[in-house]
């Protein structure tokens, strides 16, 4: 089978016929200097991509590394760029983790919920544990549970006591609160 029908078949099924044509006309050698899935070794381009990503939204170093590698940069290049960003204080995982915990508390989430959010955002497990422990010691999650209780109490005013408590417990569970704190809040606000 010749290469022309293969190129035609590729173009019919979403392949780039131009790429096939270049490949066939070059005697089978790719016209591109780099294969499409080969890692990009350009540190300057990687740095620019990292800065654009950080400009768009704050990120943890783990999430930034994943995005850079996903964009095709070599792992060692991404690691060097991230190390430099940390060195010049453009990237700070602790500061980022603390800001995520503040946002979680504003969304009335508990420690478990905040830890899951930190994991989802690529924060190191040890650092996430430290930051959530500090927040818990400072009463951040307890206050979030009380705020959640006040919110549910307002929204369910006039409903049956069991319905109000069920809705509060469901919300508290979804948001990752400590059951002991939920019991205390429910007894005082929804009892």
25 with 55, same domain?
no
pLDDT of 18: 36
For residue 38, being part of any structural domain is answered with no
pLDDT band at 125 (very low <50, low <70, confident <90, very high): very high
Residue 44 and residue 51: Cα distance in Å, rounded? 11
Q: Are residues 63 and 108 in the same domain?
A: no
Report if residue 179 sits inside a domain: yes
On whether the CB atoms of residues 146 and 127 are closer than 8 A, the answer is no
pLDDT the model gives residue 159:
94
176 in any annotated domain? yes
Residue 188 pLDDT > 60, yes or no? yes
Together in a domain, 147 and 79: no
Q: For residue 18, tell me if it sits in a domain.
A: yes
Model pLDDT, residue 115: 97
Has residue 136 been placed in a domain? yes
Provide the terminal-to-terminal Cα distance of the chain, rounded to the nearest Å: 79
Residues 84 and 103 placed together within one structural domain of the fold: no
User: Domain check: are 81 and 163 in the same one?
Assistant: no
The two three-digit tokens of residue 62, written as one number = 């783990």
Per-residue model confidence (pLDDT) at position 168: 96
Q: Is 184 found in the same domain as 98?
A: yes
In a domain, 10, yes or no: yes
Report the alpha-carbon distance of residue 60 to residue 154 in Å, rounded.
36
User: Which pLDDT score is estimated for 104?
Assistant: 97
Q: How many domains does the chain have?
A: 3
CA distances from 11 to 17, 18, 20, 183 (A): 5, 8, 9, 63
Q: Could you tell me the residue range of the domain that residue 28 belongs to?
A: 1-33
Range with lowest mean pLDDT among 16-25, 56-65, 178-187:
16-25
Same domain, 83 and 100: no
**Angle CA(115)–CA(121)–CA(126) in degrees, nearest 5?**
50
Mean pLDDT computed over every residue of the chain: 84
pLDDT score of 19 more than 80: no
Q: Same domain for 174 and 110?
A: yes
Within a domain: residue 145?
yes
């Amino acid at each position: 089978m010749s290469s022309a029908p293969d190129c035609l078949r590729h173009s019919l099924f979403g392949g780039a016929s131009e790429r096939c044509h270049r490949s066939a006309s070059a005697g089978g050698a790719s016209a591109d200097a780099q294969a499409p899935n080969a890692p990009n070794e350009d540190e300057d381009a990687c740095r620019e991509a990292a800065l654009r990503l950080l400009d768009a939204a704050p990120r943890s170093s783990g999430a930034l590394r994943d995005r850079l590698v996903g964009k095709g940069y070599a792992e060692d290049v991404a690691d060097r760029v991230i190390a430099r960003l940390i060195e010049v204080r453009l990237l700070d995982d602790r500061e980022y983790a603390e800001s995520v915990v503040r946002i979680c508390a504003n969304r009335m989430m508990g420690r478990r919920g905040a830890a899951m959010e930190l994991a989802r955002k690529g924060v190191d497990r040890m650092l996430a544990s430290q930051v959530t422990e500090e927040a818990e010691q400072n009463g951040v999650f307890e206050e979030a549970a009380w705020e959640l209780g006040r919110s549910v109490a307002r929204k369910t005013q006039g409903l049956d006591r069991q319905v109000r408590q069920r809705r509060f417990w469901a919300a508290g569970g979804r948001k990752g609160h400590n059951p002991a704190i939920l019991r205390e809040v429910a007894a005082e606000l929804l009892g």
